[in-house]
Amino acid sequence: MQRISTPLLALFIALVSAPVASVASDSSVVDGFVAGEYRSKAGTNLPYRLYSPGSAQRGQTLPLILYLHGSGGAGTDNRKQIVDGNALGTHVWIEPSLRQRHPAFVLAPQIPENATWHSSSDEPSVHVAALVELLDQLRSQLPIDALRVYVVGQSRGGFGAWDLIARYPDLFAAAVPLCGGGDTKRILSARGVVVWAFHGAKDATVLPLRSREMVDALRTVNPSVRYTEYPDVGHNVWTRAFAERELPEWLFAQRRR
């Protein structure tokens, strides 16, 4: 049975519209990210955090950024995916001046430590299947612009970002995979998704070759793919990528074709 544990519209707008300082002490709301849990049709539990800008006008729809955490965000506490090494990837989109120009929902699900966002089989991982169900339900209950759904992921989540746009190319307008990799044949189905990938040339955890292979493969059907490789950066490429001034404006300009 499908279930979202928090009442969506009323609770999200009421809590997130309040100043962050007034709710940060409540573990159910951290920096405006409200805790929830989704149970999929197959019985998979998916904890998540959802940030709502609380500023949508009547009849207005807003983009949604799906953030997939790295290994440091894995667990069952429904918190690690938005703090520490995963704080930049979730919080850059809610910086006050950017939020005024581009209000957006930010969804940050969490998978267990022994799970992955990607799968080498023809079927998606159980957590990705649950995530797609959750996205469908959120789009039916919140004013989300279906043409402006973006996926951003780092490390383990970078693999997930590549995997998601390959499996569900009609769902996403753009993707930002950081230090990831994937199936170079399957990614050809994402010819309509706009991509800006990042990697550090000194990454010894996920070799930059993994991103280069994906970018080269996708460029055969989508020449607009962007790729930034920092020569002096290791695995923590997110510290540079999310500081790129052009990135937010670039992302919010994308619409699904």
Q: Quote the pLDDT of residue 16.
A: 36
The number of domains in the chain is 1
Mean pLDDT value across the chain: 90
Residue 179 inside a domain? The answer is yes
Residue 241 inside a domain? The answer is yes
Q: Quote the pLDDT of residue 56.
A: 59
Residue 18 inside a domain? The answer is yes
Residue 50 inside a domain? The answer is yes
Residue 76 inside a domain? The answer is yes
pLDDT band for position 51 (cuts 50, 70, 90)? very high
Q: Containing domain of residue 227, as a range?
A: 3-252
Residue 112 inside a domain? The answer is yes
Residues whose CB is less than 8 angstroms from the CB of residue 248 and which lie 6 or more positions away in sequence, other chains included: 92, 93, 98, 102
Residue 257 inside a domain? The answer is no
CATH number of the domain residue 200 falls in: 3.40.50.1820
Residue 216 inside a domain? The answer is yes
User: Which range, of 6-10, 67-71, 130-134, averages the lowest pLDDT?
Assistant: 6-10
Q: Report the alpha-carbon distance of residue 189 to residue 92 in Å, rounded.
A: 29
Residue-wise pLDDT tens digits, 103-148: 999 999 999 999 999 999 999 999 999 999 999 999 999 999 999 9
Q: Report the alpha-carbon distance of residue 231 to residue 250 in Å, rounded.
A: 22
User: Which range, of 18-32, 87-101, 111-125, 198-212, averages the lowest pLDDT?
Assistant: 18-32
Q: Quote the pLDDT of residue 54.
A: 77
